[in-house]
Chains A and B, each alone.
Chain A
Amino acid sequence: MLLDTGSRVAVVGGGPAGSFFTYFLLEMASRMEIELQVDVYEPKTYLQPGPAGCNMCGGIISESLVQYLGAEGIILDSDVVQRGIDSYVMHMDAGTVRIDPPGHEKRIAAVHRGAGPRGQVNHRWASFDKHLLGLAESLGAHVINDRVETIDWVDGRPRVATKKGEGGVYDLLVSAVGVSGGGLKLMESMGIGYQPPETTKTYICEFLLGEEVIEQYFGSSMHVFLLDIPRLEFAAIIPKGEFVTVVMLGEGIDKELVDAFLGSPEVRACFPADWSIPEEHCRCFPSINIKGSPRPYGDRVVFIGDCGENRLYKDGIGGDYRTAKAAAKTAIFEGVSEGAFRKYYGPTCKALATDNSIGKIVFLVTGLIKKLPFARRGMLRMVAGEQRSPGSGKQMSGVLWDTFTGSSSYRSVFQRTMHPLFLGKLVWNIIVALPRRRAIVGQ
């Protein structure tokens, strides 16, 4: 089962996974002098503000992905990137510390996935997803703005049909659907035994503050919150162009938890004193993949991005890039049979899944630190010390940077936290920070 000139490929879903797949498939096919016909089915035009024109997500392109894309020749310009991020500020009840990586270079991109939040009036920035889809189109992909209604099989080949009657029979079907919409049900109905990934809900909302206020209060830093609020795993505020995006991860996120977070003194201190939560603002509860599909492939079908396997909590677009490119390479060089995908695409999914298992431990430890006041103070002291001394090692800063920005694998983060020097410094800082607790308690 090999793709050859004239082969037809259907990509269902024109988010980052689908666009990356299409881009790399067509690029590799061109190098191999194979002419493919690729149809990308995407009902969104990414022109409508609000959730209808958006594949809801925090909109962070990690430091590692920005570099990979640079090496791939893909430049992200300021008509798509709303803010280049060069640092992050960690907020805890024990204090706040700003972490600057060496080089002070803006290598994290804050974008809006869609046309921007509901209520947006200034359309200065293009949708990131539309930008990527445009790259795929520039290599010859045909985008069909319609929702796929059915997928069935004709002589062992997938047949796609949309609401408006578009579609056809293909040599390869690529599922790049998200986990928030109805795409997973469609894939389950294909009759190939596809098991969807396990998911959890996140909360994202956008506040219009204007460029000047954002510059003054948030700058080019991502703001990360490690607060001891029950059910809250992690939260961040990401400055964009005229909006800030609030992202929350946790258990059963509801209005009560959102209010507890937004009303906390640490969050309030980030905003202007006279600011209050506007009645009307864009918000959504998108799902994310927390455990991938056990077999994200079959004969002439492959599942990429969130509907297959992805990175846990962070760098979802980086995970899209990895699975999309691995699937494209397999399709061009190894074929489109289940065996080819198992042998050549499967290891990429497995590597992500293994790293996610380590990530669960990393987040478990982070959760523990969040709950223990003395550990929080010790960690804060260690980071603050590292940031004050330019020449010293930045073990904790580096670990936190990679954990919160998703710039490195969880395995690498975990290995660094197991280093005796790291553990020794942390224990020392916890011990030194202990008397402060007594002083505070005694006051």
Chain B
Amino acid sequence: MEDKTPFINVLISLGDDHLILGHRLSEWCGHAPMLEEDLSMPNMALDLLGQARNLYGYAVELEAKGRTEDDVAFLRSDREYKNILMVERPNGDFAHTILRQFYFAAYMKLFWESVLKNGDGRLQEFAAKASKELAYHIRHCGEWVVRLGDGTEESAARMKAAVDALHPYTNELFDVTPDFQHCIDGGLLPEPATLRADWDASVEQVFQQAFLSVPEVPFPQTGGRTGHHTEAFGHLLSELQYMQRAYPGLTW
């Protein structure tokens, strides 16, 4: 039988992207700039966390070693999380959070649509729902990028600062690990490089309206896919894992 390990690893790394970004977004709940956004941001976070559960659930099912979604989500060491660095960045201001969400959603929507055309059958079930959820994230966050970019002098400056800070992390969206390549070769997953032009175009479209330009990125920031995280990540894990680490082996 074919070795499923590479596919399981990729499922977990995608699950990590969704868990960590959902976790970051959830930090806003109760602290948003306006009450309406106190509802919008948790909606997006709930979508992401729901997808994380799907991905982890599928991974542990394939793995068939008795691990649960929570074992994967809460009980690994930092090196074992394989999320891209962008999603673990501290939230920063509203401009940073919204832009990061936009970048991620714009990529994942293309990813899922590509899975729908040609990919693993079970993933196609997740993809149908996820691509709709992400279409909304793109629209909502895109509207905000435009408003902040074309709002006041202060908001434009903050929006630009967010682009400068986060754009270097976007290359990692397209990184292909050996496990990922294995899945591409097996027809389970799309090749990220083929999504690049469309992703660039959706970013460009919003940036144009927002009076933003895509910066040159001489030094892309990558490392999450191989488990090499930023300083912020350990702190995130110390919150995320607090209960499971302080009271091991219990049912909640």
Q: Do A and B come from one complex?
A: no
